[in-house]
Amino acid sequence: MTSSLFLRVSFALSALLGAIQAAADTTHYPLTIQSCNREVTFDKAPQHALSHDINMTQMMLALGLKSSMVGYSGITGWKSVTSEMAKILDGLPELASKYPSVETLLNANVDFFFAGWDYGMSVGGDLTPQTLAPLGIKVYELTESCAFVMKRPPASLEMMYGDLRNLGKIFNVQDRAEQLIAQMQQRVAAITEKLPADKPRVFLYDSGEDRAMTSGRLAMPQALITAAGGRNILDDVDASWTRVNWESVVERNPQVIVIVDYGEVTAEQKEQFLLSNPALQSVDAIRNKRFVVIPYVAATPGIDNIDAIETLTSAFHGKSL
């Protein structure tokens, strides 16, 4: 075969493979997607989507879906918005600072609601997939939150990647989703290949004084702590975000405490509370003042999870990545 003919054949094969890849990345409707313990079918890509909470809104925007959204909800009423996030949100209205109502969705002509259980929806509440279905509003549930309505394995990064993939399929932007996932996986791989064998005992502190709001093995921090080479002291607790007694924390004696930063009580105030709590004075993390802070958006499923893993890895093992 001559070189010119070889080049023509190569270009033709490349074009063919590119066409095949493009076809594979194109959504064919109707599309049926698994969402928790149910299936939801889309006849076309949603055009008036609403995302709830900062982590899910970030996922939508990272996939370039701003033009398909009527707005977001549940951000300013709970968390502060960074200047960087404010730029990303610019031009996109917040329809409810905390929890949206059915009327909120109807008034905005919403056709797709991306939320989760305990992330804008509650079992038996007014806003659920079952109450919205008769109104023509499709709901996709954050996979981590499925623990509130069904049995599922411990939290993993694959669950978050799966949400991105499903959003990519629903909105016909699968190429963007796969590219974003690949970038995140590369960053995680660069971290995990350098982890030492030692796994410090870790306790995540979200909030609470009489009892601690924390993460069992079904909430996202389980996956983040594991990926960073630590061990969640509550990795045997078959629960998502949950409350525990301080006695349980003392008994399991964490070496590091991860503080989730959000809301009116600052991370510094949370740290001072823990340091001054008489019940915790025998805990290694308290005696050695080993704290690490991650923002709410990085502690819940979303694109900032990789930032959290990098921060935790450095804090657990004293490394700069």
Q: Are 102 and 128 in contact (CB under 8 A)?
A: no
**From-to residues of CATH 3.40.50.1980 in the chain:** 31-187, 196-317
Query: What do you get for the CA distance between the two ends of the chain, in Å?
Result: 49
The number of angstroms, rounded, from the C-alpha of 24 to the middle of its chain's C-alpha atoms is 26
pLDDT the model gives residue 25: 79
Compute the distance between CA of residue 148 and CA of residue 167 in angstroms, rounded to an integer. Answer: 21
Q: Which CATH superfamily is domain 196-317 in?
A: Nitrogenase molybdenum iron protein domain (3.40.50.1980)
Q: Which amino acid is at 306?
A: I
SS3 at position 129: helix
From the first residue on, what is the mean pLDDT of each consecutive set of 10 residues in the chain (321 residues)?
A: 42 46 75 98 98 96 97 87 82 95 97 97 96 98 97 97 98 97 97 92 97 97 98 97 97 98 93 97 97 96 97 86 43
CATH code at 31-187: 3.40.50.1980
Q: What is the pLDDT, as a whole number, of residue 7?
A: 39
